[in-house]
Structure 1
Amino acid sequence: MQNIIVGTAGHVDHGKTCLIKALSGFDTDRLKEEKKRGITIDLGFANLPNDAGLHIGIIDVPGHEKFVKNMLAGIGGIDLVLMVVALDEGVMPQTTEHFEILKMLHIRRGILVLTKCDIVDEEWAGLVEADVEDMVKDSFLEGAPVVRVSSYTGENIPQLRDMIIRMVSDLGARREEAELFRLPVDRVFSMEGFGTVVTGTLQEGTVTAGQEVMLYPRERLVKIRGIQSHGKREEAAAAGQRTALNLQGIKKEEIRRGDVLAYPGSLVRSILADVKLSVFQTSGRELKSGDRVHFNYGSAQAIAKAVLLDAERIGPGESAYAQLRFDEPIVLKRDDRFIIRFLSPVETFGGGIVLDAAPVRHKRGESQALEALKVKERGTEPEVLELMVRETSWQFPPGSRLATAMNLSRARAEYLIEKLRAARRILILADGSVIHMDYWNEIAAFAEELLVVYHRENPISEGMDKEEFKSRLNEQFRLGDIRRAAVLLAELVKRMAVKTQGAFVAGKDFSTEYSKELRGMMEQIGAEYARAGIEAPLTADVLNLFRDKNRAKQIIADMHKNGRLVKLNPASYMDSRAFEQVVDGLRTHMGKSEGFTLAEFRDMWGTSRKYAVQLLEYTDKKKITKMVGDKRILL
């Protein structure tokens, strides 16, 4: 069933509450103080009965100037506004203020409702109606239906009810994907036998009883014990419904008006927001960069410093890009609408739209930041998504985080990501993270140059050790997690930018190459090991024969890789032909004997105990020989 929210707006005592009672039969003045004072202080709610199969909730918001922030809590996200003007008074200060707020929040449909038609004559009513139409000229309410009503006599109330139903019946469905669930809390109370209950208008998404959701901005998981909507117990609620949620495992005192219940992980805490800020055309004041303001969004209010990025100040009817810097963390989404008020005197003077809900800090006049904000304001979804990938590639965001940043469903984000991938604008890594191709090209270029330098200095080395390579990537790109370096290495290999062999990484076209000088060193090393025979020298002693010990060490490692040397232990190598002679000798000896002792082996080869032990420990390790008692046998 389609869920519709209708809101009222207008000056205090212009008959909004009486109008809703006449339309719905429900009195929205629920607080004793409201009854006593005869004005609406907080939000009131009613359902509009209809035969069209629609859930139509009506929000009655206060009109008194002291209660504007409560009015802001109710007016956001409505589908249709009833702009109420009493015919006996006409357009008043809060009429204009509410109308400016409606325009700033981009409300798109409305009806001009002129109340108290039973107490004025036709001539006066005509003058007021002309004033109202002049006020809404060049706005979304220009050309909107005008209805004169009397809540006292019931005049034109049925016609207004039918008009509301007709105007909302063709509204498109709200976004109802579960992961978009978001409900700003506008009331918190306890009910005996139930515990903590919160109410709010479900802005988007769906929620079900028994589901775990997250309370923002404190990021606390809570469980939904029960749901009520339109006065009935429900198993689920969807976008556009006035909803009461019974929460389990949390006290009333731990929740406050302005908190947000949302799908876990769907919002990001931030103390910064990039916005497009505008001042009301009717405002008599200007906003200077650095001014502190009240920031009203959803049902919450926060205090922020407004840093104008492309202007020193903005006056009536003017706009600027700005970064809002909050005193405490808040949770917003891209494209959220908001209203701003001066700190002192408290006066509503403008508002705007969120372009980035969790940006980095910008400097004023920073050209790159301003160009990015233009794209975020005016660009297509693929253009904005590509920009956000470019800006956050260093964080290796998964698709779900990009969906959150863009305020998109996961399905929509995945579609756009795939579209950009197919156009070779972005890259999806094996761990699901998404990076821009420009960032990838930086990584590939760094890896190539890193290995070029390494191979130049180590021409006969098989390559750079993998762990060292990953460590260098991690250091250069400040990855923060070595596992990301492993993912990047896998992608480099996949794209044939580098190659790996065993524990080494090499350039894609690299092969070892010996110069005349290096060949001479290799022959000298080979001759040294051949001369030593079974009495394998310490590697350090061999290296001391050369001035360039690093090259000599690389040559020894390469000779081992190519089978010319046998590595007995970390400190010693042996000529492989000498080693083969030893093994052949053992086979011959073992044909005549049942095992041999260390002393027999030592005497057989005319060497010392030191070299005999070193060699036999290696043959034991390689399972050529095995100790049995005090003798070794050939395996």
Structure 2
Amino acid sequence: MIVGTAGHIDHGKTALVKALTGTDADRLAEEKARGITIDLGFAYADLGGGQITGFVDVPGHERLIHTMLAGAGGIDMALLVVAADDGVMPQTREHMAILDLLGMRRGLVVVTKCDLADQARRDQVVDQIRDLTATSGLQDAPVMMASAVTGEGIADLRNALSQAEAETIARHADGPLRMTVDRSFTMSGAGTVVTGTVIAGRVAIGDQVVVGPSGLAARVRGIHAQSRVATEGLAGQRCALNLAGDQVSKEAIHRGDVVMAPALHAPTMRIDAMLSVLPSEPAPIGTWFPARLHSHAAELGARIVPLGDPIAPGTQGPVQIVLDRPIAAGIGDRFILRDVSAVRTIGGGHFLDLRAPARKRRTPERLALIDAARHSDPAQALQAMLAIAPVDLAVFTRDRGLTDAATRMALDRAQGQIIGPTALSDDHLRSLRDGMQAQLAQFHDENPDLSGLGRERLRLSLTPRLSKDAYLALLHLDAQAGRIVLDGAFVRLPGHEVRLTDQDQALWNRISPSLTGQIRFRPPRVRDFATDFGVDEKEVRRVLKLTQKLGRTDQIAHDHFFARSTTSEMVAILRDVATASDDGWFTAADFRDRVQNGRKVAIEILDFFDRHGVTLRRGDMRRLNPHRLDQFG
């Protein structure tokens, strides 16, 4: 269990931790000289239950609230400290508000320095505390008396914490690793060491990890968990990790970074969230409101954009948070907002969507998705989201820190269908398939002489709109089921076919061998066929245009037609050419040498593939677009 202290400056938080653990959490010379906590302090002890309890001691000075916030994330229990001689003070109230905004529901309130107060004063302070916590998550927290000087109440407090330790439910440790960093330093003989709280998953010696948001790769060389040498660290423990790697140093890792499983690395600068504004805020929070955001140990600048009306003091509402630099975060993470001058706490809340859009952020569908994401249970969130729009399962899994098994369980409970990388509801899948059939039927009625509707045009006409990868997966599934026919870059219904007349078929039979034989990569042009067969160019051109509609040919350049089978073969050749290069980029000459035709024809072919998105061009270089490689079979 991790216990975090909170309370006003000089109310005895550090002395109380020392009385409970025997450890002085003030480690800096300046802290000992001035008698106040400046940075985070840590202590560990077995309180009698056989388990190691960790304590995070935070400073109480108003100017050090940002340091207090760095230690408040990830604690299991709060120890709110109020001195008997002072009673409830300004930072007591601010710390209490922060604990409430962080969702803290477990805690003890300790009246320290009780050796300085008689019973009447003690009762008076207890009344102040009850007023303070009346509307908070700690409204039912026990209030205990203690004195680090006389030892009064220390044994009872230790027993209460030991019982809380026994009641603490182990955090979910079978997901991907996330550990927030609050210190980074160099240790003689070991190298770079980072400390923090494991908020999800587990970490073991030898694990490959990533430090976010920078993306720094590292390997775990050693672990201390709850201040003891260990082979692994689990969610809910404070750990020190000895990290190794080419770029790993104490300067490369900062307070607020996150050590995580590599699959989770996806930093963000734009987040949709739910924000609660404190009643003490003087005015509503309006568009582009400047603030400092604190989440776990991270602190960075932010602008707040309400997704509805301005958020009045004492109320809550959805907002978009635009950060001044990337952050490594997870859905459900709590955050605190303070003003830019670090004078007051404004409010706080939790993250709902780490991939918030910069445009159309207030549409009804977008607001419905944000509301659906408020469910903490992944299955309930997924079911509510699927009722509104398709969901990218990889993003859903990563941003919530789920295992693949947990995602499958959520999908089963939400009764979703998987199409490629996307999950859909039964209703949306049915709507897509019905819409596809209706669009194709209408197109064939209006264009009986055309073989089919363009793939991208069909995608953009369907509701809900799928990503290109999911749409391609749906096309292939429906083609395999016989509901549609894929014809190059076009889609048609199975019963639709453009037919050649007997006379047109006869001319095609004469042309076809030249398009599929030895000279298939450099076939004759329209005028060449017209001269060879003694036929009007217009007739040759008309028939070849018809075969293009039938999916038998492709017009690579003006009056230059290639057989569809040859187009498919050239795509396969391009795959080989790209694979043979070091970085996937190739030149026209590389392709020309493989098909053994002239430079002009090779460039015309590549220009054709550029137009269809099969290749992507940069100057004289090209590479393949993996999303379009199936267009020609």
TM-score (norm: length of structure 1): 0.75
CA contact (8 A) 1:72 1:296 kept: yes
Q: In the alignment, what sits opposite 2:23?
A: 26
Q: Is the 8 A contact 2:39 2:67 kept in 1?
A: yes
**Which residue is equivalent to 2:276?**
278
Q: How far did 1:184 drift? A: 1.1
Moved more, 319-328 or 379-388: 379-388
Task: Give the alignment partner of residue 319 of structure 1, picking from 307, 316, 321.
Answer: 316
5+ residue gaps in structure 1? 531-536, 562-568, 572-635
- Whole-Å Cα distance in 2 between the matches of residues 480 and 305 of structure 1? 30
Q: CA, structure 1 residues 119+539, in 2 after alignment: closer, same or farther (shift >3 Å)?
A: same
1:434 aligned residue (423, 427, 446): 423
Shift, 1:50, TM fit: 3.1
1:410 Cα deviation after fit: 2.9
Q: CA deviation at 1:212?
A: 0.7
Give 2:36's aligned residue.
39
Corresponding residue for residue 413 of structure 2? 419
Aligned mate of 1:307, from 297, 305, 308: 305
Q: Distance in 2 between matches of 1:195 and 1:555?
A: 70
Aligned AA (2:198): L
Map of 1:146 onto structure 2: 143
Change in CA separation of 1:209 and 1:476 when aligned onto 2, cut-off 3 Å: farther
Residue 413 of structure 1 deviates from its aligned partner by 1.4
CA distance, structure 1, for counterparts of residue 366 and residue 547 of structure 2: 53
Amino acid at match of 1:244: A
After alignment, is 485-494 or 200-209 more displaced?
A: 485-494
Structure 2 residue 12 is matched with structure 1 residue 7: no
Alignment match, 1:404: 398
Q: Deviation of residue 171 (structure 1)?
A: 2.1
Q: Which ranges in structure 2 are unaligned for 5 or more consecutive residues? A: 511-526, 554-560, 564-633
Task: Please tell me whether the aligned partners of residues 82 and 112 of structure 2 are also in contact (alpha carbons under 8 angstroms).
Answer: yes
For residue 493 of structure 1, give the secondary structure of its aligned residue in structure 2.
Answer: helix
| C-alpha distance in structure 1 between counterparts of 2:44 and 2:198, whole Å | 15
Q: Are 2:333 and 1:333 equivalent residues in the alignment?
A: no
Is 1:256 the counterpart of 2:254? The answer is: yes
Deviations 1:15-35 (A, max 9, x none): 010001000111100011100
Q: Which amino acid aligns with 2:400?
A: M
Match runs of 1:166-245 below 5 Å: 166-179=163-176, 181-245=177-241
The aligned counterpart of 1:606 is none
- Amino acid paired to 2:67: N
Contact 1:309 1:363 in 2 (8 A): no
1:528–1:98: structure 2 CA closer, same or farther, 3 Å change rule?
closer
CA contact (8 A) 1:340 1:349 kept: yes
Q: Confirm or deny: 8 A CA contact 2:63 2:343 kept in the other structure.
A: no
Alpha-carbon distance in structure 2 between the residues aligned to 1:335 and 1:76? 12
1:344 aligned counterpart, secondary structure: coil
Match in the other structure for 1:289: 287
CA contact (8 A) 1:117 1:149 kept: yes
Checking the alignment, whether the CA contact within 8 Å between 2:3 and 2:53 is kept in structure 1 is yes
Aligned to 1:603: none
Which secondary structure does the structure 2 equivalent of 1:172 belong to? Answer: coil
Identity %, equivalent residues: 34
1:165 — aligned with what? 162
AA matched with 1:498? I
Counterpart-to-counterpart distance in 1, 2:109 and 2:39: 23
How far did residue 136 of structure 1 move? 1.1
What's the offset of the Cα at 1:344?
A: 2.7
In the alignment, the residues of structure 1 paired with residue 184 and residue 153 of structure 2 have an alpha-carbon distance, to the nearest angstrom, of 37
Distance verdict in 2 for CA 1:64–1:469, change over 3 Å? same
Q: Aligned AA for 2:257?
A: D
Q: 1:508 to 1:92 in 2, by over 3 A?
A: same
By how many angstroms is 1:71 displaced? 0.6
2:83 is the alignment partner of 1:86? yes
Superposed CA deviations along residues 304-339 of structure 1, whole A, max 9, x for unmatched, are 111112123422x12221111111111221111111
Matches within 5 A, 1:519-538: 521-522=501-502
Q: Deviations over 1:24-50 (max 9, x none)?
A: 111100011100111011111111213
Secondary structure of 2:399's partner? helix
State the partner residue of 1:489: 475
The TM-score with structure 2 as length reference comes to 0.76
Residue number in structure 1 paired with 2:69: 72
Paired residues in the alignment total 533
Check conservation: 1:543, 1:552, Cα contact below 8 A.
no
Tell me by how many angstroms 1:269 deviates.
Answer: 1.4
SS across alignment from 1:278: strand
Q: In structure 2, how many angstroms separate the alpha carbons of the residues matched to 1:368 and 1:460? A: 39
The alpha carbon displacement at 1:450 in A equals 6.3
In structure 2, the CA distance between the partners of 1:504 and 1:159, relative to structure 1 (3 Å rule), is closer
Query: Aligned partners of 1:220, 1:108: CA distance in 2, in Å?
Result: 35
In structure 1, C-alpha distance between the alignment counterparts of 2:261 and 2:181, rounded to whole Å: 14
- Give the whole-Å Cα distance in 2 for the aligned partners of 1:362 and 1:485: 23
Kept after mapping to 1: 8 A contact 2:7/2:91: yes
Say which of 239, 262, 265 aligns to 2:263.
265
Q: Once the 2 structures are TM-superposed, how far is the Cα of residue 53 of structure 1 from its aligned partner?
A: 2.9
Verify the 8 A CA contact 2:220 2:242 in the aligned structure 1.
yes
Equivalent-residue separation in structure 1 for 2:357 and 2:508 (angstroms):
62
1:126-137 aligned within 5 A = 126-137=123-134
Does the 8 Å contact 2:336/2:345 carry over to 1?
A: yes
The question of whether the paired residues in 2 share the 8 Å contact of 1:314 and 1:320 is answered with no
Aligned-partner Cα distance in 2 for 1:494–1:556: 23
RMSD over aligned Cα atoms: 3.5
Query: Structure 1 206/552 Cα, relative in aligned 2: closer, same or farther at 3 Å?
Result: closer
Secondary structure of the residue aligned to 1:491 is: helix
Amino acid in structure 1 at the alignment position of 2:266: V
- 1:427 shift after superposition: 3.0
Letter in 1 for 2:417: L
1:510 alignment counterpart? 495
Higher CA-based Rg? 1
Q: 1:449 to 1:241 in 2, by over 3 A?
A: same
Shift in alpha-carbon separation, 1:444–1:145, aligned structure 2, 3 A: same
- Distance change in 2, residues 1:285/1:157 (3 Å): farther
Would the aligned equivalents of 2:441 and 2:493 in 1 still touch at CA under 8 Å? no
CA distance change for structure 1 residues 210 and 392 in 2, over 3 Å: closer, same or farther?
Answer: farther
Q: Is the 8 A contact 1:309 1:366 kept in 2?
A: no
Displacement of 1:141 after TM fit? 2.1
The Cα of 1:525 is off from its aligned counterpart by: 6.4
Amino acid at match of 2:178: R
Q: Relative to structure 1, is the Cα distance of residues 281 and 460 closer, same or farther in structure 2, using a 3 angstrom cutoff?
A: closer
CA distance in 2, matches of 1:570, 1:21: 84
Deviation, structure 1 residue 198: 0.6
Residues 292 and 305 in structure 1, CA contact (< 8 A), matched pair in contact too? yes
